[in-house]
Amino acid sequence: MANRAALQTRALVVDTFREASARKIIWGFFGCSTVLILFFLLIVKIDVVQGAIATMTIFGKTGQTQDVNRAVRGAHAGIAALLYGFGMLLAILASAGLIPTIFEPGRIELLLSKPIERWHILLGRYLGNLLVIALNIFYPVLTLWIIFGVKTGVWTAGFLWGSILTLFMFAVYLSVILLVGVVWESAVVATMITFGMIILSLIVFNKTMIERLLSSEWSRDIVRGLYYLLPKVIDIGQILGKIVQEQPVESWMPVWSTALFGMACLGGGLWLFQRRNF
Amino acid sequence: MTADYAIETLGLTKSFSRGWRGKPFLAVDGISLRVERGTTFGLLGPNGAGKTTFVKMLLSSAHPTSGMAKVFGEDTKLRRARQRIGYLPENHRFPTYMTGIGMLDFYGALSGMDGATRRRRIPELLEKVGLAQWGGTRLGKYSKGMLQRVGLAQALIHEPELLVLDEPSDGVDPVGRRQIRDILEELEHKGVTIFLNSHLLAEVETFCRDVAIIQSGKVALEGKISDLTAGSGYRVEAEGIPERLETDLRAVAKSFSNVNGTAGVLFDDRDQANHAVDLLRREGCTIEKFGRVNSSLEEIFIRTVSGK
């Protein structure tokens, strides 16, 4: 029975990879990562002398000598921020259609007629989508980690842990895409709502400032409520920066509350999918 | 309910609500149907009669409002019940990024087949549906008829005991249609139950043993095609019928037609037909043809759905 479930999960994951590969945007993501890797591999020249960067040359311009650990962690933090911001944007755009497409008439009926549970189909697709993006995150992260390690001798694990946090954030957004996909069956609506949610969470991050501008207590409660309810994009970005730079994290509340939001969306999506008629 | 039937539904009902607080609309209204094992069963009905919703409930893509549907004695909501069903939807949309082989491999894996069995079965099936040379080509390049045939191969991949086909000949050329019919006949001989949902009455009449006609969500007629089309009346064809006699015949006939001067008169029973022949001879008309005729499925269908 377990073997059968594994067989079906594998088929769903492989199918998601095939569909993602057929969509050009995934290759765009891969191309951007490769350009970044080639930039650090070929353009940036680093000479390390006794634990300090003696020279750092970019496009023929030589930089100042500094502490190698600090320089590498700074570079790691920059790349992690790029992946967390721009990479996430690309990941959402690339993934928004992968789940809603299975609800297309003529495709969903056939999937549901197979001897597989509904939740299994949806979770298999979710897992496949997550693995596609994981590959696109870990490919530049691991490669750049090795390049920096070889060039400087600094092998800090923070950069790797940070990429897991980036993937976690994407998993939460993917839960939103899944929920919206089940309700509206549209990639466009899924993209719009996910981006709308990100923008809203960026706004309510400044809750203290907004609260000062609001006159009524109930409107302040709404802002506070939205802050705690929605994924905490900026807070988690700050935690990511600390993890990458191997600094202590004061509060994990943004991570677990965001995880709860993601689980609620995922659970809600699965629950609705079980009950829907196609 | 027993496992003696391939399909058994009891009071199967599906209602949809139209918008917010809209009046519920009964798409399927308490259908109780039994399909014997190993038979070929045709489901007919006008557009919007509830055929597709009925099939969707059989395959668990729509949930019944009330009643139940069983396949070989097991509730179709159960995964193991669906293990025994092969399905080809009407307006299927197979992913165009897949090749024929990739598609069969995917649906085979979802049906729980291991890799070795799939590798053995896929070339066999592609050969059977006449697509052996096209297995490595993307589905986006397939014609409608080829998609229909690869879709049939998909439905057969796990050797199901019940095959549910929604318009299987749609878009297929006559040669491909013949090929599909040969495959279905072969499956019928192997004891596979075939449930055909088609608007092609001739196809159902030629291929199916049993039929049900659905109208307004209910079974309007059900039975063996041979019984339904047997002994439907007596037809007389004659030329030169005077106007007065024509009026008299129209009054008692079941139907009356006149094509290029030859009148075709259909009567319910033999005595009426014999009496008409006597009258026609007395008036000096030429009798072209006289005999018993069976109704075609088309006639039965039209009579059933129009209520005449």
CB B212 within 8 A of CB B50: no
A10 with B93: Cβ contact below 8 A: no
- pLDDT (0 to 100) of residue B168: 86
Say yes or no to pLDDT of A50 above 70: no
The distance between the two most distant Cα atoms of chain B, rounded to a whole number of Å, is 79
- Which residue of B59, B61, B112 is in closest CB contact with A8? B112
A chain contacts of residue B102, beta-carbon cutoff 8 Å: 18
Q: Establish how many alpha carbons lie within 13 A of residue B150's alpha carbon, considering only the half-sphere containing its beta carbon.
A: 33
Where are any strands of DSSP class E within B58-198?
A: 66-71, 74-75, 85-88, 162-166, 193-197
Say yes or no to pLDDT of B147 above 90: yes
Select from B40, B34, B30 the least CA-distant residue to B4.
B34
Select from A237, A242, A234, A236 the least CA-distant residue to A259.
A236
Select from B183, B199, B188, B162 the least CA-distant residue to B305.
B199
Q: How far apart are CA A35 and CA A247, in angstroms?
A: 29
Sheet holding B218-224, edge to edge: B85-88, B162-166, B193-197, B40-44, B210-215, B218-224
Say yes or no to pLDDT of B2 above 60: no
**Local confidence band at A29 (pLDDT 50, 70, 90 cut-offs):** confident
Q: Is B237 helix (H, G, I), strand (E, B) or coil?
A: strand
| Per-residue model confidence as pLDDT tens digits over A227-237 | 999 999 999 99
A107 with B92: Cβ contact below 8 A: yes
Q: How far apart are CA A262 and CA A273, in angstroms?
A: 16
- Whole-angstrom CA distances from B237 to A209, B252, B261, B287, B299 are 95, 15, 10, 6, 19
Helix orientation angle between A233-244 and A253-275, rounded to the nearest 10 degrees: 130
- Whole-angstrom CA distances from A86 to A29, A90, B85, B249, B256 are 10, 6, 46, 85, 77
Beta-carbon contacts of residue A254 (< 8 Å; ≥ 6 apart): A232, A235, A236, A239
Q: Which stretches within A153-216 are classed as H helix?
A: 158-184, 187-205, 207-213
Where are any strands of DSSP class E within chain B?
A: 5-17, 24-36, 40-44, 66-71, 74-75, 85-88, 162-166, 193-197, 210-215, 218-224, 233-239, 255-259, 262-267, 286-293
The distance between the two most distant Cα atoms of chain A, rounded to a whole number of Å, is 67
Helix (H) / strand (E) element for A53: namely strand A52-58
Which one of B110, B148, B167, B195 makes the best mutation probe of the A interface by having the most chain A beta carbons within 10 Å? B110
| Per-residue model confidence as pLDDT tens digits over A164-182 | 999 999 999 999 999 999 9
- pLDDT (0 to 100) of residue B98: 95
- pLDDT (0 to 100) of residue B201: 86
- pLDDT (0 to 100) of residue A214: 84
Q: How far apart are CA A146 and CA A165, in angstroms?
A: 19
B80 with A12: Cβ contact below 8 A: no
CB B129 within 8 A of CB B183: yes
Q: How far apart are CA A159 and CA B114, in angstroms?
A: 40
- pLDDT (0 to 100) of residue B63: 95
**Selection from B75-79, B177-181, B228-232 with the highest mean pLDDT:** B75-79
As a whole number, the mean pLDDT across chain A is 90
Q: Two tokens at B277? A: 């022949």
Q: Is B265 helix (H, G, I), strand (E, B) or coil?
A: strand
B60 Cβ under 8 Å from any chain A Cβ: yes
Where are any strands of DSSP class E within A8-51?
A: 44-49
Helix (H) / strand (E) element for A71: namely helix A68-82
| Per-residue model confidence as pLDDT tens digits over B74-100 | 999 999 999 999 999 988 999 999 999
- pLDDT (0 to 100) of residue A80: 94
Kindly report the pTM of this predicted structure: 0.85
CB B149 within 8 A of CB B131: yes
Helix orientation angle between A2-22 and A24-38, rounded to the nearest 10 degrees: 80
The single residue listed with the structure tokens 């293990």 is B83
Mean pLDDT of B110-117: 95
Q: How many CB atoms lie within 10 A of CB B32?
A: 13
Put residue A15 in one of left, alpha, beta given phi > 0 → left and psi -120 to 50 → alpha.
alpha
Q: Two tokens at B181? A: 């019919």
Say yes or no to pLDDT of A65 above 60: no
In A80-109, the residues whose Cβ lies within 8 Å of chain B are 104-109
Which one of B55, B61, B166 makes the best mutation probe of the A interface by having the most chain A beta carbons within 10 Å? B61
Say yes or no to pLDDT of A162 above 90: yes
**Local confidence band at A73 (pLDDT 50, 70, 90 cut-offs):** confident
ipTM: 0.87
B54 Cβ under 8 Å from any chain A Cβ: no
Mean pLDDT of B259-281: 88
In A10-69, the residues whose Cβ lies within 8 Å of chain B are 10-12, 14-15, 18-19, 21-22
B77 Cβ under 8 Å from any chain A Cβ: no
The single residue listed with the structure tokens 């007065």 is B244
**In angstroms, how far is the first alpha carbon of chain B from the final one?**
34
Select from A97, A89, A80 the least CA-distant residue to A195.
A89
Say yes or no to pLDDT of A94 above 90: no
Q: How far apart are CA B81 and CA B73, in angstroms?
A: 8
- pLDDT (0 to 100) of residue A48: 73
